[in-house]
Amino acid sequence: RDEEEKTDNDLREKYGVKWNRQQSSKLNSGWRAEIVKHRQLLEQASQTDKGLKERFSVQEASFGHLSGSESELREYVTSEMEKQGSSVALGGSSSKAKALRDLCNQVDTMKKERVDLQKQLEQMKLPESLTKEFLKIYQKGGTIDAQSLATEHVNKALESVRDCVRESLDKQKSLLKGIESLHESVFGKKKEVASALTTLLMAAEAYDQLCQDVGQGITFYADLTGILVKFQN
């Protein structure tokens, strides 16, 4: 573009009024503005990606425990409770211990449900309405506000999944409240050290949020890639 503008200016200076085509700088101004805008979007996306990596690193160890089998998870929780000085094992016969085990089973079920939600997010496709809208604006030579336009269409596409996510979060809050109450009753209150179960539930919540953010990021990059390819051509 810079070379084209230089050539245009040289010819305009050489031929004067005879060179009456529109100035290249004006023709390219819209493209330059779009390039600056999308460069800024890429910089923002880079910072967001960095934040996602940091959030993953903080919970990586807990994610590893949550990815294990049910027996491995029980063994880990029991071990952590013993380290904290608990005299009651998860395998106890008390009604409260049984209720606590049942809640742990529900956590495992919730984890599987969230895996299904993640698959739904991964299988989502860019809405056709968004592609048509981009092409419509592009053909008219207008300025494309990619971020706001993509957000609007993607939000509509995510409506069906959003209800499931809300239901899962509500279920998580209920489980967390029940587990904390039973844990305190069975093992005693430990203000100094967070319980293993609470830590795992917090990790599950962090995982759910990461999945949502990564899903939105995939959609954003897919959309942005298409636009940048058009700019390149």
Identify the pLDDT of residue 121.
76
Q: Label residue 82 left, alpha or beta by phi (over 0 means left) and psi (-120 to 50 means alpha).
A: alpha
pLDDT digits (tens, 9 = 90+) for 24-76: 666 666 677 777 887 888 888 888 889 999 999 999 999 998 888 888 888 88
pLDDT digits (tens, 9 = 90+) for 121-136: 777 766 666 667 767 7
- Residue 210 · residue 52 · CB < 8 Å: yes
Distance CA 193, CA 212 (A): 29
> Rounded to two decimals, what is the model's pTM?
0.43
Identify the pLDDT of residue 141.
64
- Residue 96 · residue 182 · CB < 8 Å: yes
Place of tokens 């939000």: 155
Q: CB 76: neighbour CB atoms within 10 A?
A: 17
> Virtual CA dihedral for 61, 63, 68, 69, nearest 10 degrees?
140
Q: Which of 231, 62, 60, 219 is nearest to 151 (CA)?
A: 219
Spans in the chain with pLDDT lower than 50: 86-93, 191-193
Distance CA 104, CA 76 (A): 12
Identify the pLDDT of residue 108.
84
Helix axes 24-66, 196-232, angle to 10 degrees: 160
**Residue 112 backbone phi and psi in degrees, to 5:** -65, -40
